[in-house]
Amino acid sequence: MRTLVLILLCVSAGVEIESRFQVRDKLLRASLPSLQEVQSWAEKTALLGKKRALSWFDGVTNPSSNARKAALVGKVVNVIDGDTVELRLGSATRVIRLDQIDAPEIGQPWGRRARQGLNRRVAGQQVVAEIAGSDRYERLLATLFVKDQNINREMVQSGDAWAYKQYLTDSRLLDDEAAARTARIGLWRGADPIPPWEWRRLDR
């Protein structure tokens, strides 16, 4: 069986949606797209910039016209830092940037701890990556799931990352960040932690 599964999560108006895992299980029993088709899809995603629409993907699996999200299933083969991993898709790999969160850079306080936190959660794991688009570095933006665990949220809840307010669409991450800050866990143990987006400006 191919190690790569491409999942289209469809949203139909007025219809109750099955969980991503029910959809995945059904697709595992169905015919799968070829690796070439998926690689072509990933390359096209890189050209989208920060656009969220993935409608051009209809030609691969002919999903519902209401399809809004796509997801990849692959194995995490490298954890680059606290918000970036490499995902193996068959014989190819693709860099995944965790969407809506921003972890400390490796060179700033808690940066290596954040990487360790993400490594502990996903290294060597089979994950579902819900794709939201791609960034200017051609990394796919995604929310990672290990079974039913939302890894992006866990990184914020454990104080290993900030909610990335500039690109936020899930307001629950703000509550997660506030709770971690109040509990003074993770990076919030520091007296005055500097957000990564400010650190990057200072580091230029």
Q: CA 151 to CA 148: how far, in whole Å?
A: 9
| Token pair listed for 67 | 């399809």
Q: How many CA atoms lie within 13 A of 82 on its CB side?
A: 30
Which of 105, 130, 154, 177 is flagged as catalytic? 105
Q: Is-catalytic flag, 2?
A: no
Q: Find residue 131's DSSP bridge partners.
A: 70, 142
**Whether 125 contacts 131, CB under 8 Å:** no
Which of 115, 139, 153, 177 is flagged as catalytic? 139
Q: Find residue 73's DSSP bridge partners.
A: 5, 128
Q: Is-catalytic flag, 200?
A: no
Q: Is-catalytic flag, 181?
A: no
Known catalytic residues are: 97, 105, 139
